[in-house]
């Protein structure tokens, strides 16, 4: 009787082990059935993608020379759109409180280099716009920055740009620090 029980137990063990091997259970794979699926780790959503961004920022202006302007603080807003995770544009408006108020309106082409795993994106931009201070002059600009996601829809950013201004207005550097909201 004892040997018969041992034989039955051995056959049951081998049958269970064999069916498990053919189902992939011992081979390091998941066994999935319709009744009890085992989900693999979901792929996280990318931090940066296509869509609109609204930004608000504090800024500083640093003239390149000893002309009419002095270093001053200001701020502004921006609205951007990205076609994909890399390429987009940014429309900005800033005001600086120098001896006389300076307004800066720009449109920049932006290319970012996102690290989707750690949710930060260095970026470069080039663009143009207008500089107003009693009279309006055109400007060309280029710069670089860093955007760091804090949540799915909010990031903090910092960037700097060299602004080449036409006419008699001296060139200047702008530095911005602010928040961006994705929608």
Residue 69 CB burial class (10 angstroms; 0-12, 13-18, ≥19): buried
**Do residues 64 and 112 share a domain?**
yes
**Do residues 58 and 38 share a domain?**
no
**Do residues 11 and 56 share a domain?**
no
**Do residues 82 and 127 share a domain?**
yes
Tell me what pLDDT residue 17 has.
55
Per-residue pLDDT of 22-31, as tens digits, reads: 454 444 555 5
Q: Give the least confident one: 8-12, 54-58, 161-165.
A: 8-12
Round the CA-based radius of gyration of the chain to a whole number and report it: 30
Residue 98 contacts by C-beta under 8 Å, 6 or more apart in sequence? 61, 69, 70, 72, 133
Query: Mean of the pLDDT values across residues 164-183?
Result: 93
Residue 64 contacts by C-beta under 8 Å, 6 or more apart in sequence? 162, 170, 171, 172, 173
Per-residue pLDDT of 108-156, as tens digits, reads: 999 999 999 999 999 999 999 999 988 899 999 999 999 999 999 999 9
**Do residues 75 and 162 share a domain?**
yes
Q: Which DSSP string corresponds to 95-150?
A: EEESSSEEEEEEEEEEEE--BTTTTEEEEEEEEEEEEESSSEEEEEEEEEEEEEES
Average pLDDT, the chain: 84
Tell me what pLDDT residue 26 has.
47
Q: Give the least confident one: 3-12, 83-92, 144-153, 166-175.
A: 3-12
Q: Indicate yes or no: pTM above 0.85.
A: no
Domain of residue 22: give its range: 1-42
The count of domains in the chain is 2
**Do residues 139 and 69 share a domain?**
yes
Query: What CATH number is associated with residue 174?
Result: 2.40.160.20
């Amino acid at each position: 009787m004892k040997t018969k029980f041992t034989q039955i137990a051995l056959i049951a063990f081998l049958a269970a082990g064999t069916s498990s091997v053919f189902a992939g259970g011992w081979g390091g794979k998941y066994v999935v059935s319709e009744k009890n699926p085992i989900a693999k780790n979901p792929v996280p959503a990318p931090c940066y993608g296509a869509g609109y961004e609204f930004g608000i920022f504090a800024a500083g202006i640093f003239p390149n020379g000893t002309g009419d302007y002095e270093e001053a603080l200001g701020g502004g807003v921006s609205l951007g759109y990205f076609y994909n995770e890399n390429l987009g544009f940014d429309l900005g408006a800033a005001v600086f409180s120098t001896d006389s108020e300076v307004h800066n309106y720009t449109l920049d082409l932006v290319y970012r280099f996102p690290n989707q795993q750690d949710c930060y994106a260095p970026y470069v931009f080039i663009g143009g716009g207008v500089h107003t201070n009693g009279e309006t002059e055109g400007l060309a600009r280029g710069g670089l920055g860093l955007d760091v996601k804090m949540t799915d829809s909010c990031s903090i950013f910092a960037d700097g740009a060299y602004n080449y201004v036409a006419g008699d207005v001296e060139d200047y550097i702008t530095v911005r620090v602010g928040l961006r909201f994705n929608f």
